[in-house]
Amino acid sequence: MRDAWHLRPLRADPGPAGAVFGAWRQLARQPPAATPGRLGKILDQLGLHWDGAALADLCTQIEKLGVSQRSAPFDAAAIAAEVVAMRPDAEVFGWWLADLVLAQRLGWPQPLPLLMAQGFGPSFRTEAGGGRRIRPGDKNFERAVCIALVAAAADACRLAAELSRRAEKLLAVAPKLRAKGAGDVIFLLLSEDAVSGSLTTDNLSRFASRRLFERLQQLEVVRELSGRPTFRLFGL
């Protein structure tokens, strides 16, 4: 998913996997607000299309959940189930809204991709019936959401701690970098999931960029994420 997004040509269609990646990037970069316009753009990005009236009704339901007296996980489960009931082919959008509603109900400034990361994991597998996946709206779905959020929160905390440690290590070696555009690269590595190994900026040519990433690898402060010898991606 990361490769499909970051390695596409400028303004090119990232494909289904890249579209999902891009939708959650957008989710995490904005406050947890739902408007017909915003939801319409996400649906278009995911290759789904709803009429304006249906989107307006969905936004109204999200507003009602915002003043709900129930716990946040139950409201997140409710919106995912509602989306699947309306459009069985739009489950991925249901998970997107579930993460948005969860952040909204908990008062977070920005959502995190918690539930989507768990949607096909063990929390949503039945013990009987060969481990059939529990989908939004199924029996025990709300219980599965609560269990999944515990696992997701633990994973997120571990990842945050690890990324914080790696970021500190990167900042510690930053003064040793002599490349003219090193500061731009450091900023991108600290703010983006991945950075192209062939990045070019006003202060950095493609050749200089490659040399800089090689130096950062030698210092063990970045990792190559694509596993390829060419069209490489780097990140913390």
Instruction: Write 144-148 long-range contacts (CB < 8 A, 24+).
Output: 145/73, 145/74, 145/76, 145/77, 145/80, 145/98, 145/115, 146/73, 147/123, 148/114, 148/115, 148/118, 148/119, 148/121, 148/123, 148/124
**pLDDT given for residue 102 in this prediction:** 94
All domains of the chain in start order, with CATH: 2-160 (no CATH), 177-235 (1.10.10)
Q: Please determine, for residue 28, whether its predicted confidence score (pLDDT) is greater than 80.
A: yes
Contacts of 186 (CB under 8 A, 6+ apart): 170, 171, 174, 177
pLDDT tens digits for range 30-54: 899 888 889 889 988 888 888 888 8
pLDDT for residue 88 is more than 60: yes
State how far the Cα of 158 lies from the Cα of 232, in Å rounded to an integer. 26
pLDDT value for 182: 81
Placement of tokens 């989306």 in the chain: 83
What are phi and psi for residue 223, nearest 5 degrees?
Answer: -125, 145
pLDDT higher for 151 or 184? 151
Q: How many residues does the chain have?
A: 236
**What pLDDT shows up at residue 130?**
57
User: Does the pLDDT at position 128 exceed 70?
Assistant: no
Instruction: Express each pLDDT in 104-127 by its tens digit.
Output: 999 999 999 899 888 888 888 877
The position carrying tokens 């039945």 is: 126
Percent of all residues in the chain with a pLDDT value above 90, rounded to a whole number: 28
Average pLDDT over residues 2-18: 77
In angstroms, rounded to a whole number, what is the distance separating the alpha carbons of residues 88 and 82? 10
Assess whether pLDDT exceeds 60 at residue 212. Answer: yes
Largest CA distance in the chain: 60
